[in-house]
Structure 1
Amino acid sequence: MTTPRNAPKRTDQGDVVFVGAGPGDPGLLTVRAVEALRDAHVVVLDEPAHHQMLEHASDLVEVVDVGVDDAGVALTAAARGRRLVQSAKNGRRVVRLLEGDPFSHPTGADEALACAKAGVPFEAVAGVATGTAVPTHAGVPLVAGRRRSTQLFDVGGKLDLHSCAADTLVFTGVTEQLGELVQSVVDAGRVPSTPVAVITAGSTVSQQSVLGTLADIGSAVKAAKIDGPYVVIVGDAVEHRDTLSWFETKPLFGWRVLVPRTKEQAGSLTDSLRGYGAVPEGVPTISVEPPRNPQQIDKAVRGMVEGRYEWIAFTSFNALRAVKEKLIGYGLDARALSGLKVAAVGEKTAQALREWGIEPDLVPSGEQSAAGLLADWPPYDEVLDPINRVFLPRADIATETLAAGLMEMGWEVDDVTAYRTVRAAPPPAKTREAIKTGKFDAVVFTSSSTVRNLVGIAGKPHANTVIACIGPATAKTAEEHGLRVDVMAPEPSVELLADTLAEFGDSRRMSLLEAGEPVLKPSQRRRSASRRKSAQ
């Protein structure tokens, strides 16, 4: 049996790598942590957030959850250690993900001792510590001005605060003990007016911070209705929060943004939205299927291999994928395009070609569209061009603009349907309900077809949901479907669409602050208004 290409190789002896997973944000994993995940046969975890980090592991990795046993009771450190030893048998490499840093974690050292006792080799990959990362994401400096001493505590252990003279105290792992902790700090000599910050879901886009003093923080947290575990910061350093808060003030912080595209199509758009603090959720609105009659594409691909064409033009990633799949089916690879001139529309298509080992000869210098490609395409020259034929694989619904323009310039074009686009199946009922009831803060439409198809499979977004469109044609389609367009990109670019939505979010936030209103997301304001109405 052959080993799959992405499967890690086994060693003679199994081992365990304890990886610090940081405070929660997958982006805070270290390079070494990502390397360890890539080489893992087994990943052992106990936090739901750690499942997002599995994207760095092999598709074949085994996942073991050691949070609780079958009865729902939290496993002890000894029981977790036994699971690790068992998982490392038969030469398997085990990665144990631990919140924060491995040896700062409540059970990390005990689990490592269990491995040492059983003779299982292990190593530890240091991680971003929760006790320092969360204050940073909350905008609270642990060292500032004359306040240069900080002490960190994990409330899972015994606390002795009477001998602590540090300027700033940081407590991690706080849950229902918040009231007792506050009283202990006061009993140890801190005045009730000392500033306090309580942070939950630190470093993630679900992060929430509640500010107060030792005297009133308990009631403030209760009023905010946030759940632990918390990171609690006590000291005058909390006063810097208003000035240094950089994370929770991102223009789209915590916004749930619907992206009506497939995961493969939405890559750069979702990355840009995440950079602005949003939580993008993709909903495919189209499904790509083979042409009903594959004979035309089969004939064209064979002609390409035989040297029938001077150019091949990929106007979409899906066109490239269709041709690539045909070649692979024939047992061929990128070398089949040797001698061809290759044109590509869009950076994603061009990048996919490069990853396949092909540098495109022509990419539009301006607008990334068929029209933009046509504007840069050289006319046919009987002397310079030995072959006058172009292979144009495209979608069944694509316009004939490029083919017609190339023929006007003297080229002969084989305009071939490489794939069909059909409306996707409706998303899950929970997603459809969220769309209709305004639980999404924004929807970003990247084409007229995404508007039509989303409305067709899931219904119209709620009136309070912010509607963002990539250009005038898309905006017109949205308005024709009864949607109010709030944001439109100045140019047809998904990156500019994200930028423009972020500018809208930032302007909205500043307006709320200037009006003295709470900075609520569009979805929150809808629910808040409903509560006010019902109370009248």
Structure 2
Amino acid sequence: MSIRSIPKRFLSLVCLFLFAGNLLVRGQQDIKVLITSPQGYSERFKKEFSSSHLIPVSIPMIETVIPDELPDMDKLFANLTQYDYIAFSSRKAIESFAVKMAQYPDIQKHLHKLKFCAIGKDAEYMYEKLHVSNAIHPEEASPIGIANKLAEQPGITKQSIAVLVPRVEKVKEPDVVPNFLARLQEIGLKVTRIHAYTTRPVADEKIKTAADLIISGKVNCVAFTSGTEIEGLLRGFPDKLLPPNVVVACFGPYTAGYAKKIGIKVDLVAKNFSSFTGFIQAIKEYYEREGYKR
């Protein structure tokens, strides 16, 4: 029987069936998301996936460590009362402060004289570790959000702030911290950069494992929460570009801005970047728009 002898209505039904079947298979496909954030953040991030059909694959691209020798932190604690504000760039910075505070028990009685600043959910961690509350409540959960809120405080000019940030090794430092420090200086604060911990890429074997998963298509999406993670992952790609088949998701406009700046295609950006819940929601909505419905 030639195809011409088959009724057109029957052919239409077959095509419709095949199209619907393709959508069904596509809709039931598991979406695997590569998490590249450092260990502490990735553990929190993974827990948020339990309420979605997305499957997390966690391979941190950077590690954050608190060295035994931290001359900046020793100098900070020796002169702590000279500062008006202490700003933490991350949970690791808070952890470093807590570790150092255990070595200087008398410092505890001076903490009430200081004003502390942390980003988004890190404020809860700051209270848990240091028993201090956020002095300000930025509308935007970002370093620049902190700076812009500080700019609104009466008499902020000429006050002093110690900013606890990482020393970045073996990869290029993204512009988030330098821009934060520049903005603080712009509003008139006396700024001291304190290296509170070290950020560096993980071992080459782990980077290669992540790169192989992307190249082979075994993960559908890579979720970046910082520019340093991007730099770490790109060590696994000689041309410093990701394959076009992988969806690139960024946790807010600053990570996305850095990705675009260095030539990485960005497919989606979380508008709510105050918590990982907003990030996962943005990824879910992206795939729902693309037809991957569960």
TM-score using structure 2 length:
0.71
2:155 aligned residue:
380
Q: CA deviation at 1:264?
A: 0.9
Partner of 2:284: helix, strand, or coil?
A: helix
Equivalent residue in structure 2 for 1:502, among 275, 278, 284 = 284
- Secondary structure class of the residue paired with 1:351: helix
In the TM superposition, what whole-angstrom CA distance separates every residue of 1:292-316 from its partner, at most 9, and x where no partner exists? 9732320111222xx3322211121
Is residue 87 of structure 2 the alignment partner of residue 313 of structure 1?
Answer: yes
Letter in 1 for 2:246: T
**Equivalent residue of 2:193, what SS?**
strand
Pick aligned residue for 2:194 from 396, 412, 416: 416
User: Which residues of 2 match residues 24-103 of structure 1 at below 5 A?
Assistant: none
Among residues 216, 233, 236, which one is paired with 1:454 in the alignment? 233
Alignment match, 2:36: 260
- Give the conservation status (yes or no) of the 8 Å contact 1:379–1:409: no
CA shift in 2, pair 1:413/1:473, >3 Å: closer
Question: How far apart, in 1, do the equivalents of 2:102 and 2:218 lie?
Answer: 43
- CA distance change for structure 1 residues 451 and 381 in 2, over 3 Å: closer, same or farther? closer
Counterpart for residue 267 of structure 2 = 486
State the shift of 1:320 in Å.
1.1
Greater Cα offset, 326-335 or 274-283: 326-335
Whether the 8 Å contact between 1:311 and 1:389 is mirrored in structure 2 is yes
CA distance in 2, matches of 1:483, 1:313: 30
CA RMSD of aligned residues (A): 3.6
**Unaligned regions of 5+ residues in structure 1, if any?**
1-248, 512-518, 520-536
Q: Residue 257 of structure 1 contacts residue 278 of structure 1 at CA under 8 Å; is this kept in 2?
A: yes
- For 2:179 and 2:209, how far apart are their aligned partners in 1? 40
Seen in structure 2, the aligned counterparts of structure 1 residues 318 and 461 have a Cα distance that, compared at 3 Å, is: same
Q: For residue 196 of structure 2, give the secondary structure of its aligned residue in structure 1.
A: strand
Equivalent residue letter for 2:248: I
- CA offset at residue 335 of structure 1? 5.1
| Cα offsets for 1:383-435 (capped at 9, x unmatched) | xxxx9432222223463444444445554333222223222213446554323
Identity %: 23
Provide Cα deviations, 1:77-129, integer angstroms capped at 9, x if missing partner. xxxxxxxxxxxxxxxxxxxxxxxxxxxxxxxxxxxxxxxxxxxxxxxxxxxxx
Question: How far off its partner does 1:437 sit?
Answer: 0.7
CA pair 393-473 structure 1, distance change in 2 beyond 3 A: closer
Q: Residues 295 and 466 from structure 1, CA distance in 2 versus in 1: closer, same or farther, beyond 3 angstroms?
A: closer
Q: Is the 8 A contact 1:379 1:411 kept in 2?
A: no
Sort the Cα spacing of 1:423 and 1:338 in 2 relative to 1 into closer, same or farther, 3 A.
same
What CA distance in whole angstroms lies between the structure 2 residues aligned with 1:295 and 1:328? 16
Runs of 4+ in 1 over 6 A off after TM superposition: none
455 and 358 in structure 1: CA distance in 2 versus 1, 3 angstrom threshold:
same
Are residues 332 and 477 of structure 1, via their aligned partners in 2, closer, same or farther at CA, if it must alter by over 3 Å? same
Aligned partners of 2:263, 2:193: CA distance in 1, in Å?
36
Higher helix share: 2
1:353 aligns with 2:126: yes
Name which one, 1 or 2, has greater alpha-carbon Rg.
Answer: 1
Higher mean C-alpha displacement, 443-452 vs 317-326: 443-452
1:95 is matched with none
Deviation at 1:341, TM superposition (A): 1.7
Partner of 2:248: 467
| Cα pair 1:313 1:392 within 8 Å, conserved | yes
Q: Secondary structure of the equivalent of 1:468?
A: strand
Query: Contact (CA 8 Å) 1:255, 1:279: kept in 2 or not?
Result: yes
Query: CA offsets per residue over residues 305-333 of structure 1, 9 Å max, x none?
Result: xx332221112112111211112234568
- Cα deviation 1:10-58 (Å, max 9, x = unaligned): xxxxxxxxxxxxxxxxxxxxxxxxxxxxxxxxxxxxxxxxxxxxxxxxx
For 1:152-171, list aligned pairs within 5 A.
none
Q: Deviations over 1:165-219 (max 9, x none)?
A: xxxxxxxxxxxxxxxxxxxxxxxxxxxxxxxxxxxxxxxxxxxxxxxxxxxxxxx
Counterpart selection for 1:436 from 201, 209, 215: 215
The alpha-carbon deviation at position 352 of structure 1 amounts to: 0.9
- 1:233-382 aligned at under 5 Å gives the runs 254-290=30-66, 294-304=70-80, 307-331=81-105, 337-347=111-121, 349-356=122-129, 358-377=131-150, 378-380=153-155
Separation in 1, partners of 2:205, 2:110: 39
Q: Which residue of 2 aligns with 1:393?
A: 164
Helix, strand or coil for the counterpart of 1:280? strand
Q: List aligned pairs for 1:94-243, cutoff 5 A.
A: none
Distance 1:486 1:403 in 2: 29
Once the two structures are overlaid, the 10-residue window that deviates more, 361-370 or 256-265, is 361-370
How many Å separate the matches in 2 of 1:436 and 1:426? 16
Cα distance, 1:431–1:312 mapped onto 2, change above 3 Å: closer
Query: Higher relative contact order by CA 8 Å / sep ≥ 6: 1 or 2?
Result: 2
